[in-house]
Amino acid sequence: MKKKLMQCLSAILCVCMLAGIAPSPVFADAYKPYLSLGADLNAEQRAKVLSLLNVQESELPNLSVSYVTNAEEHQYLDNYMSASAIGKHALSSVLIKESDPGMGLSITTKNITVCTEGMYRNACATAGITDAEIVVAGPFDISGTAALVGIFKAYEKMRGTDIQEDVIDGALNELVVTGDLEGALDSVDPVVIEGMLSEVKQRMAKGELKDEKSIGEAVDEVSQKYNVTLNQNERQQIIDLVMKLSTLDIDSNILSSVVGEVSDTLSGVISKVTGGGTDDGAAADGTAANGDTKSGGGFWDSISSFFSNLAKSISDFFSNLFGGKK
């Protein structure tokens, strides 16, 4: 009986290891998180933000924490936004954690009402940020525009290197332009706007766009592809932005790979607006047209199938162990 018990325990351990649910504690991660908190959060707001970021106050002494001030928000954003839009209080907060090489960017927002995950992803790609998990949170509904400053501060600490000031400026410029376009083109899904910009940037990164004329032609081609009508001012906004980005010392390999990742994610949206969409406005990869992930089909079916098979395997094992020959 003792031998059978040892066999049982060994089998359970093996099954759990295969399922990825046992060997190490949840927080025993090789990559520690880096936080950037809004300097003007009061105690209640700070507690709310930390809860959204899944961080305990008691953990902060063991983490790398930086703070973004309202003065810094104005320093970086005054060229692109009015002082009233930026506000007088720094509240946006960010948690960033390094991922394994090649994993790309994972971005989640909580209580962020204007900036979408796609907007952050595009701007981060411009700044050369990749292979990271990023969560942006506010204590209540806020625009989230200034959060990009916090992302940069936390990322610099994580990597131990500075992002060039002109690259930061370009990425912030991109975030604001994207927000302006999404506000002006309110009948167009924001994901489509982000897809347009990412595609033009990808062509820039590949060296296909050399001057204002070629950039303008690319903007026309991509807007037609996505069935989006731009007025002259909106078209020029994109041209000016891409012209600016093309002069920066941006890592073209990172930009191309991350922007390519965004474009792949948006492939279903392209199909939708060109007449080949999937049911319920969902992309082929399971991403809904509004940028949310659908809960059914594909990946989740495979997960359900895996655990169903796992449960059957465990049941069969015990049945054979205790109900078979002695």
Burial per residue of 39-59, b for 16 or more beta-carbon CB atoms within 10 angstroms, e otherwise:
bbbeeebbebbbebbebeeee
Task: Note whether 181 and 193 are within 8 A (CB).
Answer: yes
CA distance 26 to 257: 30
**What does the pLDDT look like over 99-142, one tens digit per residue?**
998 888 899 999 999 898 988 988 998 888 889 999 999 999 99
What mean pLDDT do residues 275-282 have? Answer: 40
**Poorest-pLDDT segment among 14-23, 156-165, 292-301, 314-323:** 292-301
Which pLDDT does position 256 carry in this prediction? 67
**What does the pLDDT look like over 211-228, one tens digit per residue?**
999 999 999 999 999 999
- Look at residue 184 and tell me whether its pLDDT is greater than 70: yes
HSE-up (13 A, CA, CB side) for residue 164: 12
For the chain, state the CA radius of gyration.
Answer: 23
The CA–CA distances, whole Å, from 79 to 3, 71, 170, 245 equal 73, 13, 11, 16
CA distance 74 to 82: 9
CA distance 312 to 314: 5
CA distance 167 to 247: 10
Q: What DSSP string runs through 23-73?
A: SS-TT--SS-EEEEEETT--HHHHHHHHHHTT--GGGGGGSEEEEE-HHHH
CA distance 150 to 139: 15
